[in-house]
Structure 1
Amino acid sequence: MDHDQNFKNLILDYPRQALELFAAAEAEALDATVQITPVRQEQLKERLGERFRELDVPLQVQWPDGRREAILFVVEEESEPGRFSLHRLAHYCLDLSELLDCDRVVPVVVFLRRGRRRERLALGGERHTYLSFHYLACVLPELSFEQYRDSPNIVARLNLPNMRHASGQRVEVYAQAVRGLTELEPHPEKQLKYLDFVDIYAGLDEAERARYQEEYREEAEKMSTFAERFRQQGMQQGEAQVLLRQMTRRFGPLPEPVRQRIETADAEQLLEWSERVLTAASAEEVLN
């Protein structure tokens, strides 16, 4: 499972909500006017043969009126605390600070699991510490499901399965995460995308899925119907695009009314038209 990619998508799709959950101590200062922009992850190489230092998602927060300096949030997801490298994170933050000429940098690490991890780096000699570095840690299993079960923050709701809860609450946790997704995300594409996210981290077994279907029957049927309808719609759109390409190659640029008929046709009609492409003399003959 590529947890890095899962969380990278989550943070890029919902940057403000991600900072509000994962970097709560610093996010309090971010008002509604701030602009949040992802910045490049790969740092310039000192030598071309070297590998890039790349973490998950740097987000630059700017105040349009200029009343405050920009802040750079460096957000990293770490599945196993034992594999976390504090030196690597510090090096990356220094690189970004130099590249973007920004001294206001907030390192944030999201841990999927509990475990021992190094929290602070101090470099110095007998008399002084010359470099002191630490980071904000969001350990998801240490957050309480009960605290976030009705949260208006979609990133929190999607991560309910990763938060602390009793084993007997797994179905309830899943239901609250799915409910949050449907209530807080209006776009069908993202609903389907993050239904997969909830499924992955909830990890319900067959018995628990059966309980969910029984105890939350109306919601379960609604999401199942929606997912199937959306997948069918995606298949129809793909078939329409294939037919459009075939007809354009055979007959040249298509009139807009022809394109519209193809794009709005159902799967059965598209199949019938696709069978005529090779024998018809014109685009109109295919459709008629």
Structure 2
Amino acid sequence: MADRKNHDQNFKNLILDYPHQALAFFAAEEASDITSAVKITPIRQEQLKERLGERFHELDVPLLVEWPDGRREALLFIVEEDTRTERFSAHRLAHYTLHLSELFDTLRVVPVVIFLYSRKAMVDGLHIKSERHSYLEFRYLSLQLDQLSARAFFESDNLVARLNLPNMQWQATDKVDVYANAIQGLLSLEPDGEKQLKYIDFVDIYSELSVEERQDYQKRYPREESKMAGLSERLRSEGMQQGMQQGMQQGMQQGMQQGRHEGIEGALRLQLNMKFGELPEWTETQLQQASDEQLTQWLARILSADSLEEVMKE
């Protein structure tokens, strides 16, 4: 299984590539009115670190959500992937949420936490109080992926949900079907070939099919397997063609540079021969090793120099 760092990067890529669908899946309760017209802007992690200080945990994917009609304030979603419930700290998330609220001057902040593995029951917030007063009440949304039924999302038109089928709850006998429905969702909902190839890797990482399971998938879902093979071959071919074009361009540039170099060297050798006769071996060696700049300098000295040594001095 991928380590924590890879989990972070996998989910950051997923949320940044598909922010609308990510919020609709990970924060459905709050994202119901986020239409395609709503602007979602990832907030640069580096800027936040500079303002908040290194003592805070690694920031995942804070998203600034803005409605075009101006009737709603900016809504700041914090989407944090914490992998395991036992590693999560509500105090840390509350601290982070308060600083973002102050930084962006908004009270509309929605903290969302994604868990891949649930080992303990989660509380839904934090309440700081005394016997007389309540001083701080903090709540957040959480999604425990391994508590969701994969079969319930087999027909979902939300690509983020389909890609996460392997992270949901399923029977061992359903593993190949879970993988197949994730791949079907990717191929049908994502038209871009490069992103299809990118997220085939995502599904593979979290499915971890054995050799036997892979063979079973190929037999039971030949059409999808054929599409995947064709996609890989097409992108490989396009990559080869692009590489050949780049190589030809680089070769032409190098050829032009080489031709210019040989032209200067040839003109210099001719003039040296005419003025000083047959050239000694050390001169030939220096000519072959010289740069364009050196050859040009030596060429300019020929008229005034009285010897080879004077022409080719450093």
Question: In which range does the TM-score fall when normalised by the shorter chain?
Answer: 0.7 to 0.9
Q: Computing the radius of gyration over CA atoms, which structure comes out larger, 1 or 2?
A: 2
Match of 1:94 among 88, 95, 98: 98
**2:230 corresponds to which residue?**
225
- Mean alpha-carbon deviation: is it higher for 10-19 or for 34-43? 34-43
Aligned AA (1:90): A
CA distance in 2: counterparts of 1:110 and 1:186, whole angstroms: 27
Displacement of 1:231: 2.4
**1:109 corresponds to which residue?**
113
CA distance in 1: counterparts of 2:221 and 2:167, whole angstroms: 21
Structure 2 residue 235 is matched with structure 1 residue 199: no
CA distance in 2: counterparts of 1:127 and 1:249, whole angstroms: 80
**2:38 corresponds to which residue?**
34
Displacement of 1:237: 1.7
CA distance in 2: counterparts of 1:39 and 1:247, whole angstroms: 43
Match of 1:76 among 73, 80, 94: 80
Aligned AA (1:71): L
Displacement of 1:34: 1.4
Identity of aligned residues (%): 55
Any unmatched runs of 5+ in structure 2? 258-314
Change (3 A) 1:131 1:47: closer
- Conserved 8 A contact 2:56-2:96: no
- Conserved 8 A contact 1:11-1:18: yes
**1:190 corresponds to which residue?**
195
- Conserved 8 A contact 2:182-2:203: yes
Cα root mean square deviation, aligned: 1.9
Q: Deviations over 1:63-101 (max 9, x none)?
A: 111011111110011211111122221111111111111
Match of 1:55 among 35, 56, 59: 59
Q: TM-score, normalised by structure 1?
A: 0.82
Change (3 A) 1:44 1:224: closer
Displacement of 1:54: 3.0
**2:160 corresponds to which residue?**
155
CA distance in 2: counterparts of 1:83 and 1:202, whole angstroms: 23
Match of 1:126 among 128, 131, 150: 131
Report the secondary structure of 2:29's partner residue.
helix
CA distance in 2: counterparts of 1:17 and 1:38, whole angstroms: 14
CA distance in 1: counterparts of 2:204 and 2:49, whole angstroms: 37
Q: Deviations over 1:142-197 (max 9, x none)?
A: 11112110111100111111111111011111111101001000001100000000
Mapping of residues 139-154 of structure 1, within 5 Å? 139-154=144-159
Aligned AA (1:12): L
Report the secondary structure of 1:195's partner residue.
helix
Aligned AA (2:78): V
- Conserved 8 A contact 1:45-1:52: no
**1:208 corresponds to which residue?**
213
Report the secondary structure of 1:201's partner residue.
helix
Q: Deviations over 1:210-238 (max 9, x none)?
A: 10010111221221121133123224323
Displacement of 1:127: 1.3
**2:262 corresponds to which residue?**
none
Any unmatched runs of 5+ in structure 1? 253-288
Displacement of 1:204: 0.8
Change (3 A) 1:213 1:16: same
Change (3 A) 1:44 1:78: closer
Q: Which has the higher helix share?
A: 2
- Mean alpha-carbon deviation: is it higher for 59-68 or for 123-132? 123-132
- Conserved 8 A contact 1:45-1:51: no
- Conserved 8 A contact 2:20-2:36: no
Match of 1:18 among 15, 22, 28: 22
Report the secondary structure of 2:81's partner residue.
strand
Aligned AA (1:223): M
Aligned AA (2:147): E
CA distance in 1: counterparts of 2:69 and 2:214, whole angstroms: 50
Report the secondary structure of 1:79's partner residue.
strand
**1:168 corresponds to which residue?**
173
